């Protein structure tokens, strides 16, 4: 009778703590009696084995595509300039950003979709760069003897645009600060901007960077230090 | 006798906690390099946890940065009463709940049964696939407990600290979460 009561107590305890036996966080001194019970109790053993499978599945890496570095740059910009306004949380859930669309579709489909977005953006930017450089120089191409525009040797800023930014909005944004895309996209879709005419002072450059950072279409904007490409 | 599955936090866990404590001390002194190191150390873990909590990619990223904004401002207040990960996950959990209150309910499930019935992957792959669906159908508190225990690897007491509730509440939530998961997974798997 006493043995039965001890067994049912252990059974009730096992039912509650099996997950922490599975994840290894249950105190060592509590484990031997529970393991002995689980080995002898079919119901608890099946539960334990099922929980091991669930945990294994949950620890499996899904195709999450977070860009830690660019996220950190946004935080770093906030740390450097705590007074800058933050975007309010989105009011409506965007179904295209939901977990099920990230995890339940095939990774290949996911990468193809991402590649298509990046490609479309790059084509748009490329077309606009070709158009603006042609218009600025008055010639369809530049030669080695052409006069270099001021942004070739001037201040540079690295930026990350929102991926949903349209080419038209990009043109307006860059025109507003007198900037040109002179390189990119590099790792993480980072572009390098130059300015023409070049900012006359470090204060003028800081003002342009502040304007870029204040724009919600810019995820981060950081000046390139001298000698660093 | 079943084998002991050790993993999350024995001696190596203690040393990584000491390293994270040292980073917090430097962050309290406004060391941005330490901030970046801690951020990159936690980014993936938090992203997974917050994706599970919110089911939204954009919100998860925002909450991670809100969490580390709090870490930057309050690193000096950390007294070592818990592991660093418990402290950070606790901040992320509360920020997540707050953000969800503004953001409204998650998008509805779509075509789960049709999709589950249409392909025949191996058992573990099936489980991975259906688990996502089943987890989203659990109440948020139950989903959070199971994520913190199985993906992050926290103890019952640590989860109670993160969620600011009694230990027995954590055990009860986990118990009901497992029961519901079992039912949901059986339903999704369909008849043999």
Tell me, what CATH number does B186's domain have? 1.10.10.10
> Which range, of A23-27, A43-47, A113-117, B156-160, averages the lowest pLDDT?
A113-117
Asked, for residue A19, whether it belongs to a domain, the answer is yes
> Out of A25, A56, A57, whose CB is closest to B153?
A25
Which pLDDT score, from 0 to 100, does residue A219 have? 78
Asked, for residue A166, whether it belongs to a domain, the answer is yes
Query: Is the CB of B58 less than 8 angstroms away from the CB of A55?
Result: no
Chain B residues within 8 A of A58 when measuring between CB atoms: 131, 146-147, 150-151
Asked, for residue B20, whether it belongs to a domain, the answer is yes
Q: How many residues are recorded in chain A?
A: 229
Q: Which residue has the higher pLDDT, A156 or A32?
A: A32
Q: How many residues are recorded in chain B?
A: 192
Asked, for residue B4, whether it belongs to a domain, the answer is no
Same domain, A45 and A108: no
Same domain, A52 and A77: no
Chain B residues within 8 A of A97 when measuring between CB atoms: 56-58
Same domain, B126 and B166: yes
Query: Domain span at residue B26?
Result: 13-104
Asked, for residue A228, whether it belongs to a domain, the answer is no
Asked, for residue A93, whether it belongs to a domain, the answer is no
Same domain, A144 and A45: no
Read off φ and ψ for residue B181, nearest 5 degrees: -60, -45
Chain A residues within 8 A of B175 when measuring between CB atoms: 15-16
In the structure encoding, which two tokens stand for residue B105, read together?
A: 């309910």
- Kindly tell me if the per-residue pLDDT of A128 is higher than 80: no
Query: Is the CB of B35 less than 8 angstroms away from the CB of A79?
Result: yes
Chain A residues within 8 A of B178 when measuring between CB atoms: 19, 47, 51, 54
Quickly tell me which residue has 């818990």 as its tokens.
B82
Segment 136-175 of chain A within 8 Å of chain B by CB:
none
Same domain, B21 and B96: yes
Query: Is the CB of A47 less than 8 angstroms away from the CB of B178?
Result: yes
Q: How many domains does chain A have?
A: 2
Asked, for residue B120, whether it belongs to a domain, the answer is yes
User: CB contact, 8 Å: A60 with chain B?
Assistant: yes
Same domain, B48 and B71: yes
A81-97 residue pLDDT tens: 877 655 444 334 443 33
| Among B65, B81, B104, residue at a domain's last position | B104
Same domain, A47 and A75: no
In sequence order, what are the residues at sequence separation of 6 or more whose Cβ sits closer than 8 angstroms to the Cβ of residue B66? B95, B99
Asked, for residue B7, whether it belongs to a domain, the answer is no
Asked, for residue A206, whether it belongs to a domain, the answer is yes
Same domain, B174 and B127: yes
- Please report which confidence band the pLDDT of residue A140 belongs to, taking 50, 70 and 90 as the band edges: very low
Query: Is the CB of A75 less than 8 angstroms away from the CB of B105?
Result: no
Q: How many domains does chain B have?
A: 2
Same domain, A103 and A176: yes
Query: Domain span at residue A118?
Result: 68-86+98-223
Same domain, B120 and B95: no
Same domain, A141 and A218: yes
- Please report which confidence band the pLDDT of residue A53 belongs to, taking 50, 70 and 90 as the band edges: confident
Asked, for residue B44, whether it belongs to a domain, the answer is yes
Asked, for residue B51, whether it belongs to a domain, the answer is yes
Same domain, B171 and B131: yes
Same domain, A130 and A214: yes
Asked, for residue A116, whether it belongs to a domain, the answer is yes
Pairing, β A190-195 against β A218-223: unpaired
Query: Is the CB of B64 less than 8 angstroms away from the CB of A71?
Result: yes
Asked, for residue B1, whether it belongs to a domain, the answer is no
Asked, for residue B94, whether it belongs to a domain, the answer is yes
Asked, for residue A229, whether it belongs to a domain, the answer is no
> Out of B43, B131, B158, whose CB is closest to A57?
B131
Same domain, A73 and A114: yes
In the structure encoding, which two tokens stand for residue B104, read together?
A: 């409204």
Same domain, A26 and A79: no
Query: Complex ipTM above 0.85?
Result: no
CA distances, A186 to each of A11, A139, A151, A189, A193 (Å): 58, 28, 18, 5, 12
pLDDT in tens, chain B (192 residues): 444 443 444 455 667 888 999 999 999 999 999 999 999 999 988 998 998 888 777 788 889 999 999 999 999 999 888 999 999 999 999 999 998 888 765 555 434 343 444 444 456 666 777 788 888 889 999 999 999 999 889 999 999 999 999 999 999 999 999 999 888 888 776 655
Query: Is the CB of B2 less than 8 angstroms away from the CB of A48?
Result: yes
Chain B residues within 8 A of A117 when measuring between CB atoms: none
Same domain, A50 and A159: no
Interface size, chain A vs chain B, as Cβ–Cβ contacts under 8 Å: 170
Chosen for mutation from B150, B170, B180, B188 (greatest number of chain A CBs closer than 10 Å) is B150
DSSP chain B: -PPP---SSSHHHHHHHHHHHHHHHHHHTT-HHHHHHHHHHHHHHHHHHHHHHH-BHHHHHHHHHHHHHHHHHHGGG--SSS-HHHHHHHHHHHHHHHHHHHH-SPPPP-SHHHHHHH----HHHHHHHHHHHHHHTS-HHHHHHHHIIIII---HHHHHHHHTS-HHHHHHHHHHHHHHHHHHHHHHH---
Tell me, what CATH number does B73's domain have? 1.10.1740.10
How far A8 CA sits from the closest chain B CA (Å)?
17
């Amino acid at each position: 009778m006493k043995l039965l009561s001890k067994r049912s107590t252990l059974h009730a305890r096992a039912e509650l703590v099996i997950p922490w036996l599975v994840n290894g966080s249950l105190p060592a001194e509590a484990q031997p009696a529970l393991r002995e019970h689980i080995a002898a109790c079919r119901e608890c053993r099946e539960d334990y084995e099922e929980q091991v499978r669930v945990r294994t599945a949950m620890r499996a890496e899904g195709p999450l595509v977070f860009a830690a570095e660019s996220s950190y740059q946004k935080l770093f910009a906030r740390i450097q300039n705590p007074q800058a306004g933050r975007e309010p949380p989105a009011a409506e859930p965007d179904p295209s950003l939901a977990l099920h669309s990230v995890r339940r579709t095939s990774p290949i489909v996911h990468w193809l979709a991402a590649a298509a977005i990046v490609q479309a953006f790059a084509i748009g930017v490329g077309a606009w760069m070709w158009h603006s450089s042609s218009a600025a120089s008055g010639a369809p191409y530049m030669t080695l003897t052409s006069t270099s525009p001021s942004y070739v040797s001037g201040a540079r800023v690295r930026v990350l645009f929102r991926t949903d930014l349209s080419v038209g909005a990009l043109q307006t944004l860059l025109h507003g600060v007198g900037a040109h895309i002179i390189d990119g996209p590099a790792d993480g879709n980072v572009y390098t901007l130059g300015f023409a005419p070049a900012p006359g002072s470090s204060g003028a450059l800081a003002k342009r960077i502040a304007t870029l950072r204040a724009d919600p279409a810019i995820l981060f904007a950081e000046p390139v230090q001298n000698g660093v490409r | 006798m079943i084998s002991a599955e050790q993993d999350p936090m024995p001696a190596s866990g203690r040393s990584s906690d000491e390293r994270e404590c040292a980073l917090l001390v430097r962050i309290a002194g406004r060391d941005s390099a330490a901030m970046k190191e801690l951020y990159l150390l936690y980014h993936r873990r938090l992203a997974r946890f917050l994706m599970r909590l919110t089911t939204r990619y954009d919100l998860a990223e925002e909450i991670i940065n809100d969490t580390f904004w709090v870490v930057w401002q309050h690193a000096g207040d950390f007294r070592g009463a818990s592991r660093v990960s418990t402290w950070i996950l606790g901040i992320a959990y509360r920020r997540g709940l707050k953000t969800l209150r503004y953001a409204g309910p998650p998008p509805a499930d779509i075509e789960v049964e049709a999709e589950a019935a249409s392909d025949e992957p191996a058992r573990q792959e099936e489980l991975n696939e259906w688990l996502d669906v089943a987890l989203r159908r659990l109440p948020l508190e139950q989903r959070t407990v199971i994520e913190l225990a199985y993906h992050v690897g926290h103890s019952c007491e640590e989860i109670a600290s993160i969620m600011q509730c009694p230990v027995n509440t954590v055990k009860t939530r986990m118990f009901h979460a497992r029961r519901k998961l079992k039912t949901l997974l059986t339903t999704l798997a369909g008849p043999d």
